[in-house]
Amino acid sequence: MTKHNRHHANPNHTDKDPDVGEGILVWTMEQAEGRKGLEGWLTRNQARIFFPLLTLEGFNLKVSSVRFLLANRRTQGLELGLMAAHLVLYFGALFLLLSPGQAIVFALVHHMVFGLHLGSVFAPNHKGMEMPEEGNDWGHLEKQVLTSRNVRGGLVTDWMMGGLNYQIEHHLFPSMPRANLRFAQPIVQRYCADVGLPYLSTGLIDSYRMGLRHMHEVGQELRNEKSFTN
């Protein structure tokens, strides 16, 4: 929740939004600069390996949750107990109903598909959009609208993306029930048109294309250096 709140307060701001901080993937030329070895290879190829990497996100979330709770066990004892109960029940049910080999394969596939689905929902929202710098004078409206993109697609897309395809409205009104975001969308879009603020809404494939193009461009300088060295 802390990480999510920081993201909502300053979306796509490299110094304040943890979602675009430097890590396995990078989002700006400055973050990519000087990366070598494995990190350099990841940056040069990050657009190509993005979706395969998402298959690891389900495991990453589990590990991150456990590490956070263990580091805060004095204040998060109840949640730590619930997480332990979840893991015991989850793996207990698998090994009760399936053979050991089948249980392990099920858990692997389950978390890989979960990570891919979750990452595919989050990826279109901000990647490839405006990235504000320190000292910009954007207000709340500009900060949330210019860094976000909506994804069109109707009821199926709404269901598969949990309503987060209305990312602009979600950022403007984070406490609004997601089922109501689609009703707010035309109102927000009309208002942005009235005040002359760009409001981006694309198809799902186009949203992925924009995000991957941005990631590819970020790694361009390292690819040029690699080609020159070779």
Give residue 27's pLDDT: 93
What is the rounded distance in angstroms from the CA atom of residue 118 to the CA atom of residue 120? 5
Tokens of 95: 């090994």
Tokens of 63: 């590990």
- Tell me the β-bridge partners of 200: none
Give residue 73's pLDDT: 85
**SS3 assignment, position 211:** helix
Inform me whether the pLDDT recorded for 12 exceeds 80.
yes
Give residue 229's pLDDT: 65
Give residue 151's pLDDT: 95
Q: 167 with 185: CB under 8 angstroms?
A: no
What is the rounded distance in angstroms from the CA atom of residue 111 to the CA atom of residue 115? 6
DSSP string, 22-82: SSSS--SHHHHTT--HHHHHHHHTHHHHHHHHHTTHHHHHHHHHHHHHHHTTTT-HHHHHH
**SS3 assignment, position 187:** helix
Question: What percent of the chain has pLDDT above 70?
Answer: 98
Residues in Cβ contact with 30 at an 8 Å cutoff, skipping those fewer than 6 apart: 14
Per-residue pLDDT of 90-103, as tens digits, reads 999 999 999 999 99
Inform me whether the pLDDT recorded for 114 exceeds 70.
yes
Inform me whether the pLDDT recorded for 226 exceeds 80.
no
Mean of all residue pLDDT scores within the chain: 92
Residue whose entry in the numeric block shows the structure tokens 């294309």: 209
- Domain boundaries defined on the chain: 9-228
The model's pTM? 0.86
**How would residue 230 be classed by pLDDT, with cut points 50, 70 and 90?**
low
CA 90 to each of CA 104, 129, 161: distance values in angstroms, whole numbers, following the listed order: 11, 38, 25
- E strand spans, the chain: 150-151, 201-202
Per-residue pLDDT of 189-204, as tens digits, reads 999 999 999 999 999 9
Closest to 121 measured CA to CA, from 144, 153, 145: 153
What is the rounded distance in angstroms from the CA atom of residue 122 to the CA atom of residue 25? 15
Give residue 121's pLDDT: 92
Query: Which DSSP symbol is given to 179?
Result: G
Inform me whether the pLDDT recorded for 135 exceeds 80.
no
Give residue 2's pLDDT: 81
Per-residue pLDDT of 52-81, as tens digits, reads 999 999 999 999 888 989 998 888 889 999
